[in-house]
A and B are shown apart, each in its own frame.
Chain A
């Protein structure tokens, strides 16, 4: 909500510089206002009653006692939803509040607004719900063949990719089943927001989100309002990673505010947050790779099954990615891939960093290692031999026209000499602070993995961003609805503006639906390209207008003028005017920016569905205590294809942070679900890497090959770090243990086989 404004010396804040984050110091000092810090003098507190059952019929819902509690202002249920009863990112199938049935543990059933959070808690406890429990559908393998648990059926999407010869057999074949557990985004800032009723019958919502305009569309639909009557402003976001792409408390807050005619604030508890957002899809995968005796890949067969949980969210796009990138960044002339994502009574799954490519990377990289082992060749060599390059065809028939430095990321990563020193400190061995191992108990493993995914939205989606550049008195104001979720767009937008306009002071207006069109989602590694592109275009237009004005007013040829250091200068040095003076009368440009069009996949999964691709490789060194099953990731080495490096410090931050999430998925991060119930909805039991678990990330190489068509030649860099890191770590554990380890996260008992004597 607060304006971000800095005066950074222009000399180190342009494109390619490690410009500091304008919100960096406030975040470190604790003065940055997150959505959970929102406050209004007259506000009420909201809360949500959730289903304790993953599948049940609601026979009776009685709110009378809750309404009688002093300090309770309203209690609302499904029958109070003014507009559409359901919402969804791609397909509206998720009830704002459950009506007749609940389909997952934690599904909202009723909402309350009261004077104080404690009264909210008591009111929620006073709501009487009679549930009739049903047997939950929790096995995704049978979802397709059993009775529907939702009117829209149990299959969200099925994709078949048939490419080339469907029958060809390789002399060498390797096969495997692989499994990926359910990861959580584990952001630190829980879902929170504040809705303020408008005097005009509309509503203002301040909320942490990844995509303001998609929220606006869905919220307006459920409220039965026109879109312009739902005004959404981005509140400080405490991490996202995909989990804020779907609505959570948005409609609830607005309903409570409009019913009570009071501002209403809501914050989810940590436990509630685990039930209140989507997770990464758990995957079951089967692969068979065919190769010739020289190790050239001939064909890949795969089946990828994702558990989408109770509602659609972005499952359709996730399975498309999982299928399209199922075989990794390799040249494979023939393929038969089946991807299917199904509905169950498990927690809903949707977007998370890597978006379908993380799961399949774990599978295809295990296959590449198996192939190398059968052929008795170096795992690096087999990858280099088959590495995709520009001009090659993907499994979808699409030809890669952009840059594809796959061999470069593999080679630089493999050749890097690690700086790691062996330590005898017990704390640095597997088991860490628990002091469980001595050096002689440890077995070391090392392995490499490579992965890729698409940048931006695919399959014909009209993907665009909007921006406004306003230049007045030498101060540039950029308005863009791009959600800053920590990725650093606020820094980059300033860098781009300074680069193009040569001004020092750049103000970023609040991201809001009222002032500018959609920026699209902060996901799919797309905002540097898309909103960066929009800001670039808006600034270029203002630059041109300024030059035209100076040309007209001072009779100098436009080609003789440049913008630098806050001045409009003639190349021969005879003329200069400060931009402050030249823009006393303001200049403005309002633009939309689109990437090159994409196209849907046909019935054989063929088509130019994607815009651009980014690649990364990881090499992991792990120490394993095979007798106890404990693992310490000692070092991660990475190389990444970035197109062009726009801000080195921010890029390294993405490489480190993404790798940490990959390490987490490899060795500890899993939402444990038993019979549809989450058993570890807390940071006590949902474990994410600590400083003792996360090794240093050594960047072997940042490959800069400017991407044609991309603003400044830069590719998005947020997701690749979390794709191959998991695969590399589990492969290194395999090397250390000689175990197959077909599943992540690797659990203690996957390494140690023990049985309790009966």
Chain B
């Protein structure tokens, strides 16, 4: 090998401590999990890579556990795993969102921790995690902290992860009630989101939770719309009036802050949110025209 070619140091971490030690030594290292986002950028030359800490083989980041009404997902849980029967029965919207990601190969490699780490406005699991008010457990060699997702993702591809830190797990509440996630792309599968929408119900609390994806720098909770629908639903009969549905859809669309880009126009994205929000609500509640 010629002298000019300085090999890139790669740590293939075998344990969480191993990874954290490597990150302590080299806090700016790129964290590589499934690589489905990172490698695209590396190959395109748009991500400078000097050091890599590969976390795909860390046992502590794999798998999930249930603790009362909380589900803890290891950062290394893949989209395919989230589509599995167990997780999809606890968080159906997360499974539906996972199915919209890439191809089977990508879903076998890509992870929930990676989706959070990339913090793309088009991240497919993010709207549902925002609606669930997921809590991230973030670890470094010096300690551990917990951060709600809306304090973690702070801008377009920007998050609160500090050098030396690693996402260890993501905790979400297991809600009782139906959930719906839908996503628009100009192809029927394997496509980057143009707009997405998630609607969750919490039957015990008689509340809905919702979030808009790809129509702002970060996922957007349409709180006015959520309140209107929570109050407008007849929870005993699972019914809602057409007027409330229309108002809900309009408020969701109003909450969007979309941009124009080569994947879609701002106007289309706002329009799409209006349609998706109404349809999602109609799948969950029966429309009461009486």
Binding site for B on A (CB under 8 A): 69-72, 115-116, 118-119, 121-122, 269, 271, 430-438, 441, 627-630, 632, 667-668, 672, 674, 679-680, 682, 684-685, 687, 689-693, 747-749, 752, 754-756
Contact = CB atoms under 8 A, between A and B. Distances in A.
A748 B44 contact: no
B185 A685 contact: no
A455 to B, nearest CB: 33
Contacts of B5: 71, 115-116, 118-119
A690 B187 contact: yes
A630 B184 contact: yes
Nearest to A433: B189
The 5 A-B pairs with the shortest beta carbon distances in the complex, nearest first, are A432-B188, A70-B4, A756-B267, A71-B2, A692-B188
B188 A431 contact: yes
B142 to A, nearest CB: 35
B191 A431 contact: no
Contact of B2 (A116, A434, A752): A116
15 contacts: A70-B4, A116-B5, A121-B45, A430-B188, A431-B184, A434-B182, A435-B183, A436-B183, A436-B279, A628-B272, A687-B187, A687-B191, A690-B189, A749-B264, A754-B270
A693 B188 contact: yes
Contacts of A685: 192, 262-263
A70 B43 CA distance: 23
B40 A432 contact: no
B275 A627 contact: yes
Contacts of A119: 2, 4-5
Contacts of A680: 262
Contacts of B194: 748
B268 interface: yes
A681 to B, nearest CB: 10
B1 A116 contact: yes
Contact of A115 (B2, B185, B266): B2
Contacts of B191: 434, 687
A69 B188 CA distance: 47
Contacts of B72: none
Contacts of A627: 275
Nearest to A68: B4
A194 B192 CA distance: 36
A749 B265 contact: yes
A693 B182 contact: no
Contacts of A679: 262
A752 B271 contact: yes
What's the interface size class on B, roughly?
35 or more
A749 B268 CA distance: 7
A118 B186 CA distance: 35
A679 B181 CA distance: 29
B98 to A, nearest CB: 10
A687 B1 contact: no
B262 A434 contact: no
Contacts of B40: 684
Contacts of A684: 40, 192
A629 B267 CA distance: 13
Nearest to A688: B187
Given A71-B2, A118-B5, A433-B100, A438 B192 contact: no
A749 B279 CA distance: 19
Nearest to B6: A118
Interface string B25-55: 0000000000000001001110000000000
B283 interface: yes
Nearest to A125: B45
B96 interface: yes
Given A119-B2, A748-B194, A269 B279 contact: no
Contacts of A69: 4
Contacts of B183: 433-436
Contacts of B103: 690
B169 interface: no
B19 interface: no
A748 B264 contact: yes
A430 B182 CA distance: 12
A433 to B, nearest CB: 4
Contacts of A438: 279, 282-283
Interface string B86-97: 000000000010
Contacts of B268: 629, 748-749, 752, 754
B188 A632 contact: yes
B182 A431 contact: yes
Which of B99, B183, B188, B279 is most buried by chain A, counting CB atoms within 10 A of its CB? B188
Contacts of B270: 754, 756
B279 A432 contact: no
B243 to A, nearest CB: 19
B154 interface: no
B153 interface: no
Contacts of A271: 44
A674 B261 CA distance: 12
Contacts of B275: 436, 627-628
B162 to A, nearest CB: 29
Contacts of B189: 432-433, 690-693
Given A685-B192, A747-B186, 19 more contacts: A70-B3, A70-B4, A119-B4, A269-B43, A431-B184, A433-B189, A434-B100, A434-B185, A434-B188, A434-B196, A441-B279, A629-B268, A630-B184, A680-B262, A687-B191, A689-B187, A690-B103, A748-B264, A756-B270
A629 B276 CA distance: 12
Interface string B141-185: 000000000000000000000000000000000000000111111
Interface in B243-290: 262-268, 270-272, 275-276, 279, 282-283
B45 to A, nearest CB: 7
A294 B41 CA distance: 61
Nearest to B8: A118
Nearest to A689: B187
